[in-house]
Structure 1
């Protein structure tokens, strides 16, 4: 790996980070400003991850060892960095979730129409900004002045402080209430009020539904489609399905048991069919 390539990864990461900060510090409610801030900070993070992998071994920045023409995706980079045999970095599940949410948001902002408020994008920026401050320092051996000047740092750090203040207010709102509180799948904070079906911190709304199998409450998106275990048939354009008395979805805890029941029923029906065929065969002889 050439020195030029090494400098490109690191310097490009810092360049994107500084550009992200320049958008964020403008202190505006203009959504486009925050759109560019999140786009640039996520790009800075992706390049920084690749630089950290390069320092383990240059080959790890590529998607495939056999085809060193495409670098790894951000998700693959996280996996390699957390792998004890490669990066051996401690990136918590909570941080991993926040990083992936920011990555998904960047993809949405880039490729699709989006309807997120600037407050929502600002929160995501604050999460990645605070993560990157420590990643640059601890994993890439940089001083703060190497990637952000003092004035910018003091300006943008207010976002992190604001986020913490908002989180504290949300937790105060929850405290003392006789409510069931879950971890929000959007902001990863323990601030989702089940009865209201909404997070009181990031304001994500999601329907809470009962698992058809065990009856426990779940986020709707957590229910898993198990219809691939059913017997499907197409006859003259008509689709028929044998669902063995099961619903198409169930919660993660019920998946293995439900699939096992379906297989048991299928096996029992097969045995009965074989027994009947044997019966009629003997009866006809």
Structure 2
């Protein structure tokens, strides 16, 4: 039974989240699209909260743990998630306020006369969308690709409010970390690339962090510089000398490239001078 609950809660949450994304990514001025985006993303959030509680203990998804029957509300789920003895998840008061406002907005959209502007709904969607990205990853252990396609994610973050909300949340996440270096992401150009996770927590760009074979310093793989252009490929003997003499690596980090170029140039000049000296020697001897 618990396995069935697991599949229903998690997969249904992801299904609603994807539906929300499908409406939001249309980037339309039609308020109805944002209305359905809000309805679906809040439903996705409620199911995700219950799935997290289910992982603590299956009975925690019910209003009464003594008499399992009706599942608890989103508000009840938030309370249990924040309870140190149950979920022990540090959801800040300001985040709770946004969650509850989104919940109230969903109720208005469903049961009452709708009287909110396009901008207001878009903003509320951005807040919950940003929250859910991190909840799925941090508290349900999902890879980004499990709940949103990369192309869809990139289209949504281009929405100004959503992007701002995600960036604020990513920066807050970075500040909450106790260890690991934070680098400038080569894709979004924000200081949100986590070396320990080898992923940007804003745009979710993934890339290996590697050691420079020359100095041993860590660098993004894409930032290593190919040294093949420093070699005379049409002069195999000369290339062999360069590789053997200075131990030339195929790729080096930006900090090492200048020194590597200088070593290659110095060795090339030394080889040239040696060759000229030998030519003159044989010329004199022949003479």
TM class, shorter-length: 0.5 to 0.7
Checking the alignment, whether the CA contact within 8 Å between 1:20 and 1:37 is kept in structure 2 is: yes
The answer for unaligned runs of 5 or more in structure 1 is 169-285
Q: Does 1:90 align with 2:90?
A: yes
Task: Give, in whole Å, the separation in 1 of the partners of 2:164 and 2:5.
Answer: 38
The aligned counterpart of 1:157 is 157
The answer for unaligned runs of 5 or more in structure 2 is 169-287
The aligned counterpart of 2:80 is 80
Length-normalised TM-score, structure 2: 0.56
The aligned counterpart of 1:44 is 44
Task: Give, in whole Å, the separation in 2 of the partners of 1:163 and 1:144.
Answer: 16
User: Residues 149-184 of structure 1, C-alpha deviation per residue, up to 9 Å, x if partnerless?
Assistant: 00000011123656639xx9xxxxxxxxxxxxxxxx
Task: Give, in whole Å, the separation in 1 of the partners of 2:109 and 2:88.
Answer: 31
- Offset, 1:120: 0.5
Task: Give, in whole Å, the separation in 2 of the partners of 1:18 and 1:57.
Answer: 27
Task: Give, in whole Å, the separation in 1 of the partners of 2:21 and 2:83.
Answer: 30
Q: Secondary structure at the match of 1:77?
A: helix
The aligned counterpart of 1:102 is 102
Task: Give, in whole Å, the separation in 2 of the partners of 1:103 and 1:111.
Answer: 12
* Structure whose CA Rg is larger: 2
Checking the alignment, whether the CA contact within 8 Å between 1:123 and 1:163 is kept in structure 2 is: no
Q: Secondary structure at the match of 1:90?
A: coil
Checking the alignment, whether the CA contact within 8 Å between 1:126 and 1:160 is kept in structure 2 is: no
Task: Give, in whole Å, the separation in 2 of the partners of 1:43 and 1:160.
Answer: 23
Q: How many residues align?
A: 167
Question: Which piece of structure 1 moves more, 58-67 or 18-27?
Answer: 58-67
Checking the alignment, whether the CA contact within 8 Å between 1:127 and 1:160 is kept in structure 2 is: no
Length-normalised TM-score, structure 1: 0.56
Any residues of structure 2 matched to 1:139-218 within 5 Å, and which?
139-159=139-159, 161=161, 164=164
Task: Give, in whole Å, the separation in 2 of the partners of 1:121 and 1:163.
Answer: 15
User: Residues 174-217 of structure 1, C-alpha deviation per residue, up to 9 Å, x if partnerless?
Assistant: xxxxxxxxxxxxxxxxxxxxxxxxxxxxxxxxxxxxxxxxxxxx
Checking the alignment, whether the CA contact within 8 Å between 2:123 and 2:161 is kept in structure 1 is: no
